[in-house]
Copies of this chain bind each other. A is one copy, B any other.
Amino acid sequence: MQISSRFTIAIHIFACIDTFEKDYKLTSDFLAGSVNVNPVVIRRILQQLKQAGLITVARGSGGASIAKPLDEITFLDVYKAVECVSSGELFHFHENPSDKCPVGRNIHKVLDDKLDSIQKAMEDEMARITIADVIEDTKKFIALEQ
């Protein structure tokens, strides 16, 4: 199964805020126009990013802004903010291996460290990439359009 589009939408939102904050108010409607999804989807993601301390959202007057230096917001921060999986586990382990079977009894002990190392490899790479990298490339590609 794939990682929810909430993640790529969240990154898209950061790129929009940085690109347009001087000229526009970054409302959920504005962002929804760029991402091309329902504004409520945007607002839910904004809430998750806000709760993670990555952005601020102005209630009443409206508009989102980024709460931290761009190079201090990693993909891992964003991923953890928007992924709803309670446990934080990348792999879904089958629930009830038989404890009457020697393999069933031990499969969790055998696999857990291996699954962790895979998840860690993914998260380490996610921690290496920041919103600053995204902004840099966004500016580059927009400049190439001119």
Contact = CB atoms under 8 A, between A and B. Distances in A.
Sort chain A's interface into a size bin.
35 or more
B118 A122 contact: yes
Nearest to A134: B110
A104 interface: yes
A57 to B, nearest CB: 19
B110 A15 contact: yes
Interface in A72-90: 75, 85, 89-90
Given A1-B1, A1-B2, A122-B121, A34 B94 contact: no
A121 B126 CA distance: 9
Contacts of A115: 8
Nearest to A33: B98
B126 A89 contact: no
Nearest to A91: B3
A102 interface: yes
B85 A1 contact: yes
A42 to B, nearest CB: 11
Given A11-B111, A103-B15, A111-B134, A117 B91 contact: no
Contacts of A121: 121-122, 124-125
A8 B106 contact: no
A4 interface: yes
Interface in A51-97: 75, 85, 89-97
